[in-house]
Amino acid sequence: MSLYRRTVTIAIHREGDPESQLYRLPAWLFKTLVVGAVVFVVLVAIAAALYTPMARLASRVPRLNRQIERLTEENTQVVQLATTLRELEARYAQIRTVLGAEIVPEPVTELEEETDRLVVVAPLEARVPGVAPPFGPTGPSDPTYWPLDSLEFGVVTRGFGLPGSSREPHPGIDIAVPRGTPIRAAGGGGVAEAGFDPEYGLFVLVDHPNGFRTMYGHASRLLVAAGDQIDAGQVIALSGTTGRSTAPHLHFEKRLGDLLLDPRASSLEE
């Protein structure tokens, strides 16, 4: 009795060759080769899928190393600057101790209560004999003076504009000045209001003769209270950035009854 063995015949025919070459493989060997080829392809695909992210991460390593070196250098510089700053602060403290006085005044603390007033003595001024006071006589007077030490002091960063005009509506002018700058009354009169407002911050509202009123806003300290009688040129507050403000400045308004006036349109004197 003969055994029947299953085989797989593979015919290879070359172009121009009249005969084909036949290869007979046992069926089990052919299946083994096919399964091996499939397993090899799958392994290659898995290796490629795993290698691609690793290769991408490996390509980023040099760049990350450069960034780490740069950050390390910057951190070293920050530490050096901090050390230098501490040394300068220590030397500054030594100088202040040796001199026994404040070289730089402490910053003015902003207060938002009407009762928080800075107690000051009356200012002393030296003048040449026979020269009239720069702000005229004492007592009530129209607001004709610049609310700072001089016309050259301060920079107007926002002008006056009524609703409907070509300019953006703004009831007064904004004058940029350093924090703590003395704010002077543009004229003599009575303090109608002095306190805090969400928009104006710490403010002073002064009544003058002939229906005039002036408003001074965004102060850091108030030196007068409602009901006080003040003279032209008197320091009534210190500039700041309270209320709706982004930087130290003085908001200055001038009114005649219910009419808003441009503070720079009048003949302001030094």
Is residue 225, in this structure, part of any structural domain at all?
A: yes
Is residue 42, in this structure, part of any structural domain at all?
A: yes
Residues 234 and 128 in one domain: yes
Is residue 66, in this structure, part of any structural domain at all?
A: yes
pLDDT in tens, 3-16: 456 777 777 777 77
Residues 168 and 266 in one domain: yes
Residues 151 and 199 in one domain: yes
Domain at 261, CATH number: 2.70.70.10
Residues 69 and 170 in one domain: no
Is residue 180, in this structure, part of any structural domain at all?
A: yes
Instruction: Tell me what the mean pLDDT of segment 123-152 comes to.
Output: 70
Residues 81 and 193 in one domain: no
Is residue 103, in this structure, part of any structural domain at all?
A: no
Residues 133 and 245 in one domain: yes
Residues 179 and 239 in one domain: yes
Which residue has tokens 């795993």? 50
Q: What is the pTM of this model?
A: 0.52
For the chain, give the percent of residues with pLDDT over 70.
79
Residues 118 and 27 in one domain: no
Is residue 33, in this structure, part of any structural domain at all?
A: yes
For the chain, give the percent of residues with pLDDT over 90.
30
What is the C-alpha separation between 141 and 231, in angstroms, rounded? Answer: 8
How many domains is the chain built from?
2
50: containing domain: 21-96
* Mean pLDDT, all residues of the chain: 79
How far, CA to CA in Å, does 116 sit from each of 110, 225, 234?
A: 10, 10, 19
Residues 72 and 118 in one domain: no
What is the C-alpha separation between 30 and 8, in angstroms, rounded? Answer: 7
Residues 115 and 219 in one domain: yes
What is the C-alpha separation between 39 and 50, in angstroms, rounded? Answer: 16
Residues 6+ apart with CB under 8 A from 189: 140, 141, 143, 206, 207, 208, 209, 212, 229, 230
More confident residue, 108 or 217: 217
What is the C-alpha separation between 226 and 204, in angstroms, rounded? Answer: 8
pLDDT at site 221: 94
pLDDT in tens, 25-79: 787 877 888 888 888 889 988 888 888 888 777 778 888 888 888 898 888 898 8
Residue ending a domain, among 96, 126, 142, is 96
Residues 114 and 91 in one domain: no
Is residue 165, in this structure, part of any structural domain at all?
A: yes
pLDDT at site 235: 94
* pLDDT interval class at 218 (50, 70, 90): very high
Residue ending a domain, among 96, 118, 144, is 96
Is residue 12, in this structure, part of any structural domain at all?
A: no
Residues 65 and 91 in one domain: yes
Residue 251, phi then psi, degrees to nearest 5: -95, 120
pLDDT in tens, 102-121: 444 444 444 444 444 444 44
